[in-house]
Amino acid sequence: MADTKATLTIGDATKDYDILDGSVGPQVIDVRKLYANTGMFTYDPGFTSTASCESNITYIDGDEGILLHRGYPIEQLAEQSSFMEVAYLLMNGDLPDKETLDKFTYTITRHTMVHEQLSTFYRGFRRDAHPMAILCGVVGALSSFYHDSTDINDPLQRTIASHRLIAKMPTIAAMAYKYSVGQPFLYPRNDLSYTGNFLRMTFGVPAEEYVVDPVVEAAMDKIFILHADHEQNASTSTVRLAGSSGANPFACIAAGIACLWGPAHGGANEAALNMLREIGTPDRIPEYIARAKNKDDPFRLMGFGHRVYKNFDPRAKVLSKAASEVLDKLGINDPVLDTARELEQIALNDPYFIEKKLYPNVDFYSGVILSAIGFPTEMFTVLFALARTVGWVAQWNEMISDPAQKIGRPRQLYTGPAQRDYVPVAQR
């Protein structure tokens, strides 16, 4: 706690509020007693200045473009780590030694199968259902299968539920894809890596052996690392809010998936690639830039802008480089990458985007890579959800273990009618 206090003056009355220090980053004014002291609430729609919790998992400095997981810079993790290691780090706080990592990977690998009856769920969906709709439904349904890991007050059950969610998400996601293309589901294989297993379950067929391409496996793993967690974003806050009522972890993650689906959040990767395809050739970029700047047009440059990053998104930097490398290595010449690069340059030099500090975000380049790997655009947000599950469960566990956590219950500035008397319909 800082020595200085924040003093609030309302009329003649003043009241001091504690200022709390984090390990890095902005201090926060502790306003928990504000209503009791003054009868007033703070007003902050969209939480632009509100810290909703204390957390020691992920740190973002939006002005400097810094993203740290448990203190480690995202660039180092993306280049040197693996998704399994980052998952362990996010959940447990420190990097594992070799033996611990092997044990963790073994545990996750042994939870990848889903209950056989769960596969019958898929048949209830239309073949053309969006895979995010399927993911939402099926993950929510997990709570009806795994009753032995829904007691949120038991740390062991919480850990088992977390492992199950991380492990089963690739299986569920791949099954959603297989269902949409009318191919048989493939069971997981324990000799493959987390990411290699997912690629095989998605793109393999029973008729022939699927060989995991190490270039694709590495690119996919990097994308998973870059999406693993991102502090108190909309879907993570949704998971925390759902969890704050004591809801079971499977239901909470389903809530997070629903929130992630929106185009202002995780749905932006699908929207960004669709936009780049719609633009088609660099000569049409000015038309779309003009639309993005037009206040009367709801169109926005998808994959641009971020609530927190105001100089650059460090994840986008890593992915911009990776996009060229992956396409080169795979020998793919996709004009969409040229359009993306040109659009980025034009937007970065345009006064509108400069003034509003709008830069490419993680979703701008991820779609180019995912498309080169062979994923249809509808799967992009599913892949985001798969990776973010790690962050969601880490944040959910942290919240449940925090004695200061109460049920999340915001208040409001009420602007509706004051109390009035009911008038029977015949007299209105």
Residue count at the site for ligand ACO (CB under 6 A)? 18
Residue 182 CB, nearest approach to ligand ACO (Å): 31
What is the C-alpha separation between 223 and 373, in angstroms, rounded?
12
Pattern 98-127, binding to ligand ACO, x per CB under 6 A?
A: ------------------------------
Binding-site member from 85, 221, 229, 363 for ligand ACO (CB under 6 A): 363
Question: Residue 104: which residues within 8 A CB-CB, separation 6 or more?
Answer: 84, 87, 88, 96
Which tokens sit at 189? 């294989």
Per rule CB under 6 A, is residue 358 in the interface with ligand ACO?
yes
Residue 349 CB, nearest approach to ligand ACO (Å): 15
Q: How far out from the chain centre does Cα 301 lie?
A: 19
Identify whether the C-beta of residue 189 lies closer than 8 Å to the C-beta of residue 200.
yes
Residue 178 CB, nearest approach to ligand ACO (Å): 26
Which CB sits closer to ligand ACO, 243 or 267? 267
Per rule CB under 6 A, is residue 265 in the interface with ligand ACO?
yes
* Catalytic positions, written as ranges: 306, 363
Per rule CB under 6 A, is residue 290 in the interface with ligand ACO?
no
Please report which residue ranges of 204-267 form alpha helices under DSSP H.
214-226, 234-244, 249-260
Residue 273 CB, nearest approach to ligand ACO (Å): 12
Per rule CB under 6 A, is residue 360 in the interface with ligand ACO?
no
Residue 280 CB, nearest approach to ligand ACO (Å): 19
Q: Report which residue's Cβ sits closest to ligand ACO.
A: 305
Q: Please say whether the dihedral angle defined by the alpha carbons of residues 79, 86, 71 and 365, taken in this order, is positive or negative.
A: positive
Which CB sits closer to ligand ACO, 198 or 309? 309
Which CB sits closer to ligand ACO, 305 or 314? 305
Identify whether the C-beta of residue 285 lies closer than 8 Å to the C-beta of residue 340.
no
Binding-site member from 268, 340, 368, 387 for ligand ACO (CB under 6 A): 268
Pattern 291-320, binding to ligand ACO, x per CB under 6 A?
A: -x-------xxxxxxxx-------------
Which CB sits closer to ligand ACO, 131 or 303? 303
Identify whether the C-beta of residue 37 lies closer than 8 Å to the C-beta of residue 17.
no
- Exposed/middle/buried for residue 291 (C-beta within 10 Å: 0-12, 13-18, 19+): middle
Q: Please say whether the dihedral angle defined by the alpha carbons of residues 219, 390, 304 and 345, taken in this order, is positive or negative.
A: negative
Question: Residue 396: which residues within 8 A CB-CB, separation 6 or more?
Answer: 162, 239, 240, 243, 249, 252, 253
What is the C-alpha separation between 56 and 88, in angstroms, rounded?
15
Collapsing DSSP states into helix, strand and coil, what is residue 39?
A: coil
Residue 235 CB, nearest approach to ligand ACO (Å): 8
Which CB sits closer to ligand ACO, 108 or 301? 301
Residue 384 CB, nearest approach to ligand ACO (Å): 7
Taking Cα atoms as reference points, which of 257, 290, 285 lies closest to residue 172? Answer: 257
Residue 22 CB, nearest approach to ligand ACO (Å): 21
Collapsing DSSP states into helix, strand and coil, what is residue 304?
A: strand
Which CB sits closer to ligand ACO, 200 or 317? 317
Which CB sits closer to ligand ACO, 40 or 264? 264
Q: What is the DSSP letter of 360?
A: B
Q: How far out from the chain centre does Cα 151 lie?
A: 25
Which CB sits closer to ligand ACO, 170 or 266? 266
Amino acid occupying residue 334? D
Per rule CB under 6 A, is residue 257 in the interface with ligand ACO?
no
Q: Which stretch binds ligand ACO (CB under 6 A): 68-76, 121-129, 201-209, 359-367?
A: 359-367
Which tokens sit at 252? 């909470």
Identify whether the C-beta of residue 88 lies closer than 8 Å to the C-beta of residue 96.
yes
* Residues within the interface to ligand ACO (CB under 6 A): 264-266, 268, 292, 300-307, 356, 358, 361-363
